[in-house]
Amino acid sequence: MPLRALVAGGAGFVGSHLSEELLERGYEVVALDNLITGFTDNVSHLVGNPNFSHVNGDAEDAMTLPGHFDLVMHFASPASPPRYLAHPIETLHAGSNATEALLNVAQRDGARFIMASTSEVYGDPSVHPQTEEYWGNVSSTGPRSVYDEAKRYAEALTFAYHRTFGVDTGIVRLFNTYGPRMDPDDGRAVPAFVKAALNNVPIPLHGDGSQTRSLCYIDDQVRGILALAAARGETGPINIGNPHEQSLLEIAEAVIRLTGSTSNIELHPRPVDDPERRQPDITKARAILSWSPEVEVEEGLARTIAWFREHGTFKGLLTETAATPA
Residue 225 in domain: yes
**Residue 314: pLDDT band by 50, 70, 90 thresholds?**
very low
Segment 179-220, tens digit of pLDDT: 999 999 988 999 999 999 999 999 999 999 999 999 999 999
Residue 301 in domain: no
Q: What pLDDT does 112 receive? A: 98
Residue 264 in domain: no
Segment 300-312, tens digit of pLDDT: 999 999 999 998 7
- Which domain does 119 fall in, by range? 4-178+216-240
What is the spatial distance between Cα 160 and Cα 63, in angstroms, rounded to a whole number?
19
Q: What pLDDT does 317 receive? A: 52
Which neighbouring-strand residues pair with 16?
A: none
Beta strands in the chain (DSSP E): 4-8, 28-33, 52-56, 71-74, 112-118, 168-174, 177-178, 203-206, 212-213, 216-217, 238-240, 246-247, 265-268
Q: What's 233's domain CATH number?
A: 3.40.50.720
Residue 307 in domain: no
Residue 48 in domain: yes
By annotation, the residues acting in catalysis are: 147
Segment 245-267, tens digit of pLDDT: 999 999 999 999 999 999 999 99
Q: What is the mean pLDDT of residues 5-28?
A: 98
- The count of structural domains within the chain is 1
Q: What are phi and psi of 273, to 5 degrees?
A: 65, 20
Residue 204 in domain: no
Residue 137 in domain: yes
Q: Are 8 and 29 in contact (CB under 8 A)?
A: no
Segment 141-177, tens digit of pLDDT: 999 999 999 999 999 999 999 999 999 999 999 999 9
Residue 245 in domain: no
Q: What is the mean pLDDT of residues 299-324?
A: 70
Checking if the pLDDT of 313 tops 90, the result is: no
Segment 29-85, tens digit of pLDDT: 999 999 999 999 999 999 999 999 999 999 999 999 999 999 999 999 999 888 999
